[in-house]
Structure 1
Amino acid sequence: MLGRTEFGLTLPYTGAGTGFCHGYIKDETAQCGGVSFHVRPRVSPFSGHGALNRGTQFQRVQFSRRSPSPPPAFLTAQARCHLPGMEVVGLVCVAVAVLTWGFLRVRDLAERMRSPEQAGLPGAGSRALLVIAHPDDEAMFFAPTVLGLARLEQRVFLLCFSTGNYYNQGEIRRKELLQSCDVLGIPPPNVTIIDNSEFPDDPGVQWDTERVANTLLQHININDINLVVTFDAEGVSGHSNHIALYKAVRALHSEGKLPKGCSVLTLQSVNVLRKYLYFLDLPWSLLSPQDVLFMLTSQEVARAKKAMSCHHSQLLWFRRLYIIFSRYMRINSLQFL
């Protein structure tokens, strides 16, 4: 009968390299970390018939596989057969914390969208003005905002600063814009399209900020507008005409020329990856800080696509891909000035 002997040795774990194990030997069985090993002592002429003592050399160590599975990681002398479960527990805690924070964030956004006052938006019955540079901007970029404002029972007006006549299609695009607005719920009397040589559809022409601002302010005052929505400083696509609208609104806001109680929302520009892969952008949009977030239901997405399809003259192959993949057909994140 072999007695119990404390030991420390390097064991060749099958399929996992080797690791140092500290345990004990009793009756030719090594116990370490819940795993049993059969050991064969090397007979020494100085120790009789193979007694196991401290320092005894082992001829071979084999798995008996008596436990359900081998140790999950290398065992160290410091670990003293302690299994590395704390790392798993830590990862689980982090995952739970992130998911909880995400859930609370989404719930908070949902509550804010139910109550426009909580989101900082004017209440039901207010008058919102969407300011765009070209026909198709309303559907290509702002459809979630237009439909979201309608959901909040706000009256939406639209001011377009050009007919989109860059390729001499101005009259065609004017009609397409009216059709698109009708799909989005903006009646023709609420749509104003400017046809002025001072505001050509041309990315190479810089619109005069003061003239744009004066035209916009006149329209705001005539229609008693409570909320102005337009592009941000990057213009979503970087188009100079989009950016000119932002500069004009910014100037009115900073100079205090807007009517009392009139707020300004700008559409957030995002990087190319987020712009064209909405399914990757969705969690980022939900968790990123913004003042207002509009997300469309599946029925509203179909409506936005229908509005964009009204712009037949613009439906080139890459715009068809845009309709399928772009986040702006489904999500609008906006910031107040």
Structure 2
Amino acid sequence: MLAVAVVVLVAVLWWLCSSWRDAVCSRAVGLLPGVRAPLLLIAHPDDECMFFAPTIFGVLQGQRPLSVLCCSTGNYYNQGETRKKELIQSCAALGIAPSNVTLIDHSELPDSPSVKWDERLLSSLILNHIREKNIDLVITFDEGGVSGHSNHISLYHAIRSLHDSGKLPKGCSVLVLESVSIFRKYISILDLLLSWLYGQDVLFISSGRQYKQAKEAMWHHQSQLLWFRHIYLFFSRYMMINTLHFLHDEKAEKKS
């Protein structure tokens, strides 16, 4: 009986997802008025499709030329050169032109779950890119980094520092991807209702076709397709659902 109930629930959620998706994505895109040059800020090749695919599809729906800035080559297992090519191929599969993908290869920004990147260096590199590309919206990880990876969290602290110090160009806002509990992270489409009910500024939901497209993008990261990532692709809610929050002044948030 439990198995039947789960199947029925999944079917209902798929129906709701199909019914809501266009309206939700239209509303989400509508929450980004005047945005002309959005930037996806990631730490490693494969972050784009493993965590941000629904956001990418939603932003591209608004006919905006999304750029990607990847702050390392993902050289933890000495595969950096391979992963550079995989990133370009994955982004192309998601609809992002190779000319809009930039990858930083800096010795002081190593791919490592135990290394906290230098905030001053990272902030400087990010700010230079934002100015060069006239970026008016930055999308990146929140303080939990989704997976708790130190490099992901370093991006948050760097963009938080730029935001709170007023160094970002006037009109440039920041959206951060919500980190959820381990339970919610691995219940796939079953997290739809919770994502809808809990507070968020922006919600993106992928269609079945887009979910398949995100998986196809991940296939380009052949160097990373270990057995547990196949499980991730099937069960992770981040393959279908992204909830994001606008970054506000930290002092004001603490007072409230």
Q: Of 95, 114, 121, which residue of structure 1 is paired with 2:26?
A: 114
**Cα distance in 2 for residues equivalent to 1:202 and 1:303:** 28
Matches within 5 A, 1:47-196: 111=23, 113-115=25-27, 118-119=30-31, 121-123=32-34, 126-196=36-106
**Unpaired stretches in structure 1, ≥5 consecutive residues:** 1-102
Residue in 2 that maps onto 1:224 = 134
State the Cα distance separating 1:302 from its structure 2 match. 0.7
1:117 touches 1:123 (CA, 8 Å); kept in 2? no
SS in 1 for 2:69: strand
Give the number of the structure whose residues are more often strand, by fraction: 1
State the Cα distance separating 1:197 from its structure 2 match. 0.3
Pairs aligned (count)? 230
Larger Rg: 1
Residues 281 and 157 (structure 1 numbering): CA distance in 2 closer, same or farther, change over 3 Å?
A: same
State the Cα distance separating 1:123 from its structure 2 match. 3.7
The reply on whether 1:301 has 2:211 as its aligned counterpart is yes
**Cα distance in 2 for residues equivalent to 1:267 and 1:286:** 15
**Cα distance in 1 for residues equivalent to 2:85 and 2:239:** 21
Matches within 5 A, 1:30-45: none
Residue in 2 that maps onto 1:78 = none
Percent of aligned pairs with the same residue? 56
Residue in 1 that maps onto 2:3 = none
State the Cα distance separating 1:331 from its structure 2 match. 0.5
**Cα distance in 2 for residues equivalent to 1:279 and 1:127:** 30
State the Cα distance separating 1:195 from its structure 2 match. 0.7
State the Cα distance separating 1:314 from its structure 2 match. 0.5
State the Cα distance separating 1:280 from its structure 2 match. 2.5
Instruction: Give the aligned residue type for 1:265.
Output: L
Residues 132 and 272 (structure 1 numbering): CA distance in 2 closer, same or farther, change over 3 Å?
A: same
Query: TM-score, normalised to structure 1's length?
Result: 0.66
Q: Of 226, 231, 239, which residue of structure 2 is paired with 1:316?
A: 226
**Cα distance in 2 for residues equivalent to 1:117 and 1:150:** 9
SS in 1 for 2:66: strand
State the Cα distance separating 1:326 from its structure 2 match. 0.5
Query: TM-score, normalised to structure 2's length?
Result: 0.86
1:116 touches 1:122 (CA, 8 Å); kept in 2? no
Instruction: Give the aligned residue type for 1:287.
Output: L
**Cα distance in 1 for residues equivalent to 2:132 and 2:23:** 33
SS in 2 for 1:264: strand
SS in 2 for 1:324: helix
Moved over 2 A (4+): 109-113, 115-118
Residues 195 and 123 (structure 1 numbering): CA distance in 2 closer, same or farther, change over 3 Å?
A: same
**Cα distance in 1 for residues equivalent to 2:129 and 2:123:** 10
Give the number of the structure whose residues are more often helix, by fraction: 2
Q: Of 263, 266, 281, which residue of structure 1 is paired with 2:191?
A: 281
**Unpaired stretches in structure 2, ≥5 consecutive residues:** 1-15, 248-256
Q: Of 269, 272, 288, which residue of structure 1 is paired with 2:179?
A: 269
SS in 2 for 1:145: helix
Give the aligned CA root-mean-square deviation in angstroms. 1.7
State the Cα distance separating 1:110 from its structure 2 match. 6.0
